[in-house]
A and B are shown apart, each in its own frame.
Chain A
């Protein structure tokens, strides 16, 4: 099913939670709403579900306006962060509850319950109460409850946030696999950028009720449209340094606050900028290397072991730069290091507005 939001607004009293949101979700697509807490992503989701009524604007399912439809008339399934299983029912009763309400025959309920519980591997848990299930099992039951209706649209509200890290990874895979196999259009709300980047076909980044970007994960990572996105996406997050554009021998360089200059490759030339302009220079930690011939000099202030690699925080003049290195090199705190920066990966943002100076 195709879903479309047109000029969607939602405010509570005088607080505007979602501002003028326009967004299309294609049939069978999984779209992630990504943003820090309080950015309006869950509000948007609940508005799509019909729990909240939009203050203004429209919601279309397959071209049909559904603003005034009750949640039960919208043909949706929803999975919640808190699982939201009915505590007084066992797993089976939870799963078939929507069919009970539709007064379906018992055989159909049993058949359908078997179908979805086999799909999720919870067939042996059906007679247990919610309180007797682990978090991961509860989330599977909740997923089964959403899937048994064969919804046209699946809504996920941070479904993995309450699970431990390992389970989260396997559930991530499983949800994505099920969603692709069944071809159900899905909206997935999360504040975890790894979840959004690994699962979604497209990511809608929201901040303070505004839609900042709505692109594929690759695009989001490689071509951040704003400073906020640049810093929000990627872990460890992108280094942002103040820099000044400087023309040296006819080619454009940036000059960092400590005086170091770095040449800007032609394809990364900031648009509509002139010599002497201040910009925000962004570079990801993985594009910065320890290099004895490197032209940037820094001082190590912090070393963090990430296992596979080490994160080194260094000061360049007054500014902070993080870089990833292989473990084993003998870097100690407070030592001076030389760094080379892969300028082909540089990002530039307007110093005032935070908008990209590179991408359309």
Chain B
């Protein structure tokens, strides 16, 4: 009887393990490949080596890529947090003409596949490029035009905003009206209420969205790939694409090492922040603040 219970209980686990094993095997392969000269299936052949890692870590381009990717991820995080939390407040709290339309429109935009807009955005970015300084003369991000990191950032933020605004609106919706009324009566302006009373209460939501945005920015591919001509030196994901496609024979050892290198920060980040990430899905603020 007991053994039967046990086996029935373990059935779902066995099923889950089986369907997720291809992903595990894939990652395991990547991990092993970085330390071997060659592999046949899952079997390392030709012995272990650190050459793959040495090759990429010595390559100055890698650190350039890490820098760019980091700027993109961080920029996306900051941009999304600022704009979403500011936009979500009036959408959650104020009555104004067009509010409903705006909300449903942004939801539709979110459902839209971003690929369909790539060509249109190309023209927009080209147009922005024509603006002096702002277009292509800024330090660090190069500007907001075509073929600049800032341009990629701008487009990434725009694509992610509907999600960010909706999430933040959900968090604002959860705060009781009375607290805001109490603040208004105590002498706050609307802005100060937002800044000093409401934002501290949705801190878990901000953290979750921030982490989400960072991870999204860190691994984004299609936008940097499309809007940076020099995609090779753009971000890590595009570099990885370059290594695994093209007319040269592919060095899977190096490609795997770059892939793993890109993966590691995310993995660490995730380990420490998954508790906040879960809040996005529960939407609550249990134990918050």
Contact = CB atoms under 8 A, between A and B. Distances in A.
Interface of A: 46, 49-51, 70-72, 74, 76-78, 80-88, 97-98, 101-102, 142, 145, 149, 157
Nearest to A84: B178
Interface in B159-217: 176, 178-179, 181-189, 192, 197, 200-201, 203
Interface string B246-289: 00000000000000000000000000000000000000000011
B289 A72 contact: no
Q: Across chains A and B, which 10 residue pairs bring their CB atoms closest together, nearest first?
A: A84-B178, A101-B187, A72-B187, A98-B186, A88-B200, A80-B178, A84-B182, A88-B289, A71-B184, A84-B179
Contacts of B185: 49-51, 71-72, 74, 76-78
14 contacts: A49-B181, A49-B185, A50-B184, A50-B185, A51-B185, A72-B187, A78-B181, A84-B178, A84-B182, A85-B179, A86-B182, A98-B186, A98-B187, A157-B178
Given A76-B185, A77-B185, A86 B176 contact: no
A72 B184 contact: yes
Given A82-B176, A88-B201, A72 B181 contact: no
B184 A84 contact: no
Contacts of B203: 88
A84 B200 contact: no
A97 B181 contact: no
Interface of B: 176, 178-179, 181-189, 192, 197, 200-201, 203, 288-289
Nearest to A149: B186
Contacts of A102: 187
A252 B188 CA distance: 65
Nearest to A79: B182
A358 B123 CA distance: 82
Contacts, number: 65
B178 A72 contact: no
Contacts of B186: 72, 97-98, 101, 145, 149
Most A CB within 10 A of own CB, among B179, B187, B288: B187
Contacts of A72: 184-189
Contacts of A157: 178
B187 A82 contact: no
Contacts of A97: 183, 186
Contacts of A98: 186-187
A74 B186 CA distance: 10
Contacts of B184: 50-51, 70-72
A51 B289 contact: no
Nearest to A12: B95
B284 to A, nearest CB: 13
A342 to B, nearest CB: 45
Contacts of A70: 184
A101 B192 CA distance: 10
Contacts of A50: 184-185
A76 B200 CA distance: 25
Most A CB within 10 A of own CB, among B182, B183, B192, B288: B182
Contacts of A77: 185
A98 B189 CA distance: 12
A268 B87 CA distance: 65
Nearest to A77: B185
A85 B186 CA distance: 11
A145 B201 CA distance: 19
Nearest to A70: B184
Nearest to B197: A86
Given A82-B179, A86-B179, 9 more contacts: A71-B185, A72-B186, A74-B185, A80-B178, A85-B182, A88-B200, A102-B187, A145-B186, A157-B178
B190 to A, nearest CB: 10
Contact of A87 (B183, B189, B192, B289): B289
B183 A86 contact: yes
B180 to A, nearest CB: 8
A162 B44 CA distance: 68
A78 B201 contact: no
Nearest to B176: A82
Contacts of B197: 86
Contacts of B288: 87
A49 B289 CA distance: 29
A81 B197 CA distance: 19
Contact of B178 (A71, A81, A101, A145): A81
A141 B29 CA distance: 61
Given A101-B186, A101-B188, A80 B181 contact: yes
A86 B203 CA distance: 14
A82 B178 contact: yes
Contacts of A76: 185
A84 B176 contact: yes
Contacts of B181: 46, 49, 51, 71, 78, 80, 84
Nearest to B184: A71
A87 B182 CA distance: 12
A80 B182 contact: yes
Nearest to B199: A88
Contacts of B179: 82, 84-87
Contacts of B289: 87-88
A50 B187 CA distance: 12
Most A CB within 10 A of own CB, among B181, B186, B192, B289: B186
Nearest to A142: B182
A82 B176 CA distance: 8
A78 B182 contact: yes
